[in-house]
Amino acid sequence: MRVLLVCAGNTCRSPMAEAIWRRVYPEDEVASAGLTALRGEPMNPAAAAALLEIGGDPGAHASRPLTSDLLAWADLVLTMERSQAEAIRRRFRVPAGTRVLSLGEAAGEPGTEVADPLGGGPERYRATAARLRELIERAGR
């Protein structure tokens, strides 16, 4: 399965989720992107540190914006917030109820959103990484 994880800037939540997904489901192809991302930005250092603490590998991440090609590549698109899934459906004319969902919806927790840790301290990034891992373990299968 090809999984695309999407957040806003593609420097915190979605790259953390990408690394976690890759570790939990090594048989899947996985990528990440951002709705408002600039191209080529590194992962936020606090996000990378939190990821390392839970055994994830931040690798050499470089942010990228969501494109129609990435969307077409993916079998499943998971966002950090419901509003992001709705924005993708509107912007790319993807019918509701198809392969674009929030991570919370995919994990069976439709009201759950993964808040952006940007600007928070290390503990906020740790909590985000832990929550992503929980949701991904429930969402993947």
Catalytic residue chosen out of the listed positions 7, 12, 131, 133: 7
Element (H or E) spanning 72, and its range? helix 68-73
Structural domain that includes position 47: 2-139
How many structural domains are present in the chain? 1
Active site residue 28: no
Active site residue 7: yes
Share of the chain above pLDDT 70, in %: 96
Active site residue 12: no
Predicted structure pTM score:
0.94
Helix, strand, coil percentages in the chain from 3-state DSSP, rounded to 5: 45, 15, 45
CATH label of the domain that carries residue 95: 3.40.50.2300
Catalytic residue chosen out of the listed positions 13, 126, 131, 133: 13
56 band by pLDDT with thresholds 50, 70 and 90: confident
Catalytic residue chosen out of the listed positions 89, 116, 124, 138: 116
